[in-house]
Copies of this chain bind each other. A is one copy, B any other.
Amino acid sequence: MDSRPIGVFDSGIGGLTVIGEIMKLLPDEELIYFGDTARVPYGSKSAETVTKFSRQIFNFLLSYNVKVIVIACSTASSNSYDSLQSEFDIPIIEVLSPGVEDAAHVTRNKIVGVIGTEATIRSGKYVKLLEERIPGVRAFAKACPLFVPLAEEGWTQNTVTRITAEIYLQELLDKEIDSLILGCTHYPLLVDCIRDVIGPVKIINAAESTARKLKAYLIKQDIQNKAHKLGGGHRFFVSDNTDKFRRICNLVMRQTYEAQKIDLEKYL
């Protein structure tokens, strides 16, 4: 066993959907969360910039002696995972391959859609992973840049969000996808509107898939926390002020956690 905490980070507060799933599946683990709210979003920025920001966050999380780091951000997972893995000597769980694994089990017609931020889709990583994992797959990816701002505005169920979803998703429906990966940790917040638009297409929530993968990894390595403290030691950090964190935390987790603001520039 290993009672050290698990580090989790996201560009902002989308990663809280992953935190929520981890808490359900692994109630004994302590979590250290960092949300880069001063520089959110990552999804519209370059791979180089996202990797630089992620590196600072790794250094910050390592200062808390974490046993594993979960990159709860698809943009950082798709643009920075390879660099981070070669630079840091810590196990890393990213959010892409768990969703791909689930898609492999769910799809019948092998036509799979994936939606994400501009940077995630531009990286081509999801399509590559799907093609490697599912022989003969036809994978179609679509960037949905307005979904994050819509989720953060709290417009999770209104007309604007539904029409936006129709505009973004029609071309995937035209390809006859039978499953759709929500390839951004914000998107589960919009799942009702997305479901209205895609009807019977199966939805794969990468946040959920990632929590399951993390659990399997801890068991396999025998590094679970068996101290049974029931997560009393969770700590939340953000780079901008904490008001917005509190608001979104309530929206996502239906529970309030207090965050602490820290200055990342020390962790170059």
Seen from chain A, the residues whose Cβ lies within 8 Å of a Cβ on chain B are: 37-40, 44-46, 48-49, 145-146, 148-150, 152-153, 155, 158-160, 163-164, 167, 239-241, 243-244, 265, 268
Identical copies in the complex: 2
> Judging by beta carbons under 8 Å apart, are B163 and A153 in contact?
no
Separation of A165 and B72 alpha carbons in the complex (Å): 33
Smallest CB–CB gap between A112 and chain B, Å? 25
Separation of A146 and B159 alpha carbons in the complex (Å): 14
Pick from B39, B40, B164: contact of A160, CB below 8 A. Answer: B164
Pick from B49, B148, B150, B243: contact of A38, CB below 8 A. Answer: B49
Separation of A206 and B214 alpha carbons in the complex (Å): 50
> Judging by beta carbons under 8 Å apart, are A244 and B49 in contact?
no
Smallest CB–CB gap between A255 and chain B, Å? 23
> Judging by beta carbons under 8 Å apart, are A159 and B149 in contact?
no
Pick from B150, B163, B241: contact of A163, CB below 8 A. Answer: B163
> Judging by beta carbons under 8 Å apart, are A153 and B160 in contact?
no
Whether A38 contacts B44 in the complex (CB less than 8 A), given A146-B149, A159-B163, comes out as no
Smallest CB–CB gap between A180 and chain B, Å? 20
> Judging by beta carbons under 8 Å apart, are B153 and A46 in contact?
no
User: Quick one: closest B residue to A39, CB to CB?
Assistant: B39
> Judging by beta carbons under 8 Å apart, are A49 and B153 in contact?
no
Pick from B153, B167, B239, B243: contact of A145, CB below 8 A. Answer: B153
